[in-house]
Amino acid sequence: MHTNRRNFLRQSFASAAGIAAASMLPADMFGHDLHRTSYPDEIILKPGNRPKPKDSIRFSVIGINHAHIYGMVSALNKGGGEIVAVYSKEQELLPGFIKLYPNIKVAKSPEEILDDNSIKLVASAAIPVDRAPLGIRVMQSGKDFMTDKPGIITFAQFEEVKKVQKKTNRIYSIMYSERLGSPASVQAGDLVKAGAIGKVVQTVGLGPHRMIPNTRPKWFFDPELAGGVLCDIGSHQCDQFLFYTNSRQAEVNFSQIGNFGTSKYPKYQDFGDMSVRSSHATGYIRIDWFTPDGLATWGDGRTFILGTEGYIEMRKYIDIAGRPGGNHLFLVNQKETKYYNCSEVNMPYGEQLVSDVVNRTETAMSQDHCFLATELALTAQKMAFKLNG
């Protein structure tokens, strides 16, 4: 026992001496930098002087079952939209919405909104299974449609939506808010477009969430009503893969789903991962509902973008290293290491969508991109290997 202790101490002193000696060397035998004392340059981005939106529309809301509707309405209002009416078949959901928008009309039926020709767009965060059928009715009424994700939860819905969209030439826009509603994600897109990390070859998207069952409605736990975990949250990550890699075609390599900690709801999936690829890039996606209570927010959402000349990491909602708030972006390339505080970066999606409605353009998101992100998520959900919890 004493011999073992002497050996342990001798090895510990030797290790400490080795570390001290190595710290004085500029590089090891392979040329690796062994000791850096510099820290990333910190850049606090400020919003630019945005002129008042050139275009404006009147829009309304049908379906307020998910709180994402508030971010959707805010994006449209800031982008030149004017909310004029709301319809919800669940009357108990209306008071909170009306309190925030007290001057809008409460419609007695969807038809009141669909038959109003002055309304150019309908936004919805209805129960996911109802979103595609509603979007079809909206497009057939001559209006454009903006929906929360997942905007489509089955391939049957997907084919019908595509058919009606092509026939009517209306916009079917799915707000993938982890990119379109994230200032850090907008900044990352600008950096990638400017060539800051060279050609993008891979993305890794991590979408952890906190599970608090008693705050969720019953439909949330039924994949037939809400879509599975990859169809739902995974669609965010599919969108980001396509966007940052500039991929116009892609396929799913593998996918897996499981229920490891939500035994009360056996059909629910609290974990999923998948791999995608295009002809020039790959992507890995992991989704889970295991954010521990010790984290100060609902999930440490992270995105990694690997380029031939550098990489970007986003910590969208929290930096557990200690920086306050969210929207943290780290850039490392051949010239520098930088940290960007992106919390005040302008998010253009709402204004771009309003402009697209008026001018019949595709500046917010191409229809092909919108549908391809959904198709990848639907494919991954359908082919997923079911893990045993």
Neighbours of 265 (CB within 10 A): 16
Percent of the chain with pLDDT over 90: 86
Q: What is the largest CA-CA distance in the chain?
A: 89
What are the start-end ranges of the E strands in 107-231? 121-125, 144-148, 172-175, 200-208
Amino acid 50: pLDDT: 81
pLDDT tens readout for residues 345-376: 999 999 999 999 999 999 999 999 999 999 99
The answer to whether 275 and 254 have CB atoms below 8 angstroms apart is yes
Q: CA 117, 119, 125, 127: dihedral to nearest 10 degrees?
A: -10
Q: Which residues contact 238 (CB under 8 A, 6 or more apart)?
A: 276, 283, 285, 372, 373, 374, 376, 377, 380
Instruction: Classify residue 152 by its DSSP letter.
Output: -
Amino acid 383: pLDDT: 98
Percent of the chain with pLDDT over 70: 90
Answer yes or no: is pLDDT of 36 > 80. no
Give SS3 for 272: strand
Give SS3 for 321: coil
Answer yes or no: is pLDDT of 26 > 60. no
pLDDT tens readout for residues 110-154: 999 999 999 999 999 999 999 999 999 999 999 999 999 999 999
Q: How far apart are CA 14 and CA 20, in angstroms?
A: 10
pLDDT tens readout for residues 206-260: 999 999 999 999 999 999 999 999 999 999 999 999 999 999 999 999 999 999 9
The answer to whether 54 and 62 have CB atoms below 8 angstroms apart is no
Q: Tell me the pLDDT band of 163, cut-offs 50, 70 and 90.
A: very high
Between residues 40 and 50, which one has the greater pLDDT?
A: 50
Q: Tell me the pLDDT band of 38, cut-offs 50, 70 and 90.
A: low
Question: DSSP string of 247-268?
Answer: -S--EEEEEEEE-SS-TTSTT-
Amino acid 44: pLDDT: 84
Answer yes or no: is pLDDT of 319 > 50. yes
Alpha helices by DSSP H, listed for 141-296, are 155-168, 177-180, 183-193, 223-226, 229-232, 234-245
Amino acid 366: pLDDT: 98
What are the start-end ranges of the E strands in 17-89? 41-44, 57-64, 81-87
Answer yes or no: is pLDDT of 35 > 60. no
Unique residue bearing structure tokens 């477009």: 193
Q: Tell me the pLDDT band of 15, cut-offs 50, 70 and 90.
A: very low
Domains of the chain: 57-176 (3.40.50.720), 179-348+380-386 (3.30.360.10)
HSE on the CB side for 332, CA within 13 Å?
8
Answer yes or no: is pLDDT of 103 > 90. yes
Mean pLDDT of the chain: 91
User: What is the average per-residue pLDDT within 76-84?
Assistant: 98
Neighbours of 257 (CB within 10 A): 24
Amino acid 41: pLDDT: 75
Q: Tell me the pLDDT band of 42, cut-offs 50, 70 and 90.
A: confident
Report angle CA 29, 35, 39 to the nearest 5 degrees.
Answer: 140
Dihedral sign, CA of 33, 333, 247, 178? positive
Give me 177's structure tokens: 């808010």
Q: How far apart are CA 200 and CA 92, in angstroms?
A: 47
Amino acid 10: pLDDT: 45
Amino acid 39: pLDDT: 60
Amino acid 63: pLDDT: 98
Instruction: Classify residue 363 by its DSSP letter.
Output: S
Give me 201's structure tokens: 């070859």
Q: Kindly report the backbone phi and psi dihedral angles of residue 361, in degrees, each rounded to the nearest multiple of 5, phi listed first.
A: -115, -175
Amino acid 165: pLDDT: 98
Amino acid 108: pLDDT: 97
Q: Which residue type, as a one-letter code, is found at position 310?
A: G
The answer to whether 255 and 238 have CB atoms below 8 angstroms apart is no
Please name the helix (run of DSSP H) or strand (run of DSSP E) that holds residue 118, with its range, or none.
Answer: none
Answer yes or no: is pLDDT of 30 > 50. no
HSE on the CB side for 96, CA within 13 Å?
9
Q: CA 279, 277, 284, 128: dihedral to nearest 10 degrees?
A: 130
Amino acid 17: pLDDT: 44
pLDDT tens readout for residues 322-347: 899 999 999 999 999 999 999 999 99
Answer yes or no: is pLDDT of 277 > 90. yes
